[in-house]
Amino acid sequence: MAIWGLARSRTLAASFAALGICCGARSELDVSPGAADASEAGRDASPPSLAPCTARDYASDLNSDVFAVTSHFVYFVFEAAGLYRTPKDAGEPQLVFEFSGSDYIDDFVADESFVWWVDAGGYLARIPSAGGSKETLGCAVPTGCPTGAGLYVTLLASTPTGVLVSDNSARLYVVPTDGSALFPLSASAVYGPVRSVATDDAVALWSTDERVYGNKLDGTDQGPVAYADWPGAVALHGGFMYWTRKVSGAWRLERRLEGSDEPASKLADGISGPIGANDAFVYGGIPNGGGLAKAPVSGGATSVLVPYVGVRRVVVDGACVYYVSGKGLHRVPG
C-alpha cells in the first residue's frame, strides 16, 4: 500500500506539472491594476501601506472553489484525489489526505495545527496540518450522527473555540473543537440557505438569499440581527462589517462598524462578491465575470485588480489576495 501511494503521488506530481501547478511562474493574470472606475470618485484619504506581495499561480484547474490559507501553506482539493497543500511562496504540492470511499472533503478550514471538515457521517473530523490519521470528534449536526440520507452539511468558518457549520435546516451551529456538544448560533431560525459567512474573534456575519445576519459566536444574543436586504457576500475585518447587496437592481458594497447603531455606508458600486478585506482595501468579484476589483476602505475610486475572470472565492492575507476562478487558484498583490 505504501509503494502504491508513493507511485500515485509521483503520478499526481506529473499531473500537477502538466496542469501548471507549480512554482510562481507569472501568467496572463499578472497584470498592473487598472483604473476602471466602478464607484463615485471622491474622498482623498490614502490607504495604509501593506507589506509587499508577489504573484503566484497555484493550480490551473480545480473542481472545488474551497481553499484555505495559513501562515506558510495554501490548502486545496485536487479533483477526487485528495487534499493537498503547497508552500505559499515556493515548492511543490504535498498530499495531506488521500480520499478513500466516502471520505471526500467538500468544505474545510485549516489552521497551523489541523485541517477540519465534516465527514460523510456528520461528525467533525480533523487531520494534522502536515498529514496523518483522521480523528473524529463530536457530531456536527443537531439531528444526531451518523446522518441520514439527504442531509447536507457544510463547514463554513473557524472560531476561537470551534468551527461554524450549516445544514439544510438553514441554521448555523458552533461545533466546539474540544468534542463537547454543539450549540445553535441563534435562538431563531433564518431563511436559508447560507450563502456567505465570515467570523472574527467574537462575531459571525452571514448572508442568505434574503438578508445579512449577525450574532455573537457564543450564542448569547437572542438574535440574529438582520442588517441588510438582498445581499450577496459578507466579510469582517478591523472591527467593520462589509457586505454586498442589490439596490434597484445594481450591486453595491457597503460597510458598517461592528456594534454601531449607525446605518451602513456605501463604499463602491459594481462589486457583487465574493469579498475579503485588509486594512487598506476590500476586494471582490465584479458581476458577470468582469474580474476582481478593489475598493479603498476609506472610500474612493474602485480599480480592477484582475480583469475578465469569474471570481468564485476570495481570501485576503495581508497584502496578498488569493482567489479561485475558472482559470484556477492564484495569488496577486493587492
- Give CA–CA dist 327/28, Å, rounded: 10
Q: Would you say residue 13 has pLDDT above 50?
A: no
Q: What is the model's pLDDT at position 106?
A: 80
Amino acid at site 196 = S
Among 26, 17, 25, 23, which Cα is nearest to 91's? Answer: 23
Task: Report domain 22-333's class.
Answer: mainly beta
Mean pLDDT of 286-291: 95
Among 289, 292, 290, which Cα is nearest to 322's? Answer: 292
Q: What is the model's pLDDT at position 255?
A: 96
- Give CA–CA dist 210/172, Å, rounded: 16
Q: What grid cell was written down for 253? A: 458594497
Q: Would you say residue 231 has pLDDT above 60?
A: yes
Categorize the per-residue pLDDT at 48 as very low, low, confident or very high, splitting at 50, 70 and 90: low
- pTM attached to this predicted model: 0.82
Q: Which residue has the higher pLDDT, 292 or 194?
A: 292
Q: Are strands 114-118 and 82-87 parallel, antiparallel or unpaired?
A: unpaired
Amino acid at site 112 = E
Q: Would you say residue 46 has pLDDT above 70?
A: no
Q: Would you say residue 243 has pLDDT above 60?
A: yes
The CB-based long-range contact list for 78-81 (8 Å cut-off, 24+ gap) reads: 78/12, 78/16, 78/21, 80/104, 81/12
Q: Would you say residue 215 has pLDDT above 80?
A: yes
The predicted-structure confidence for 116-172, as pLDDT tens digits, reads as follows 998 888 888 999 999 999 999 888 888 788 876 666 778 889 888 889 988 766 678
Among 289, 294, 291, 285, which Cα is nearest to 314's? Answer: 285
Q: What is the model's pLDDT at position 47?
A: 53
Give the chain's end-to-end CA distance (angstroms, integer).
44
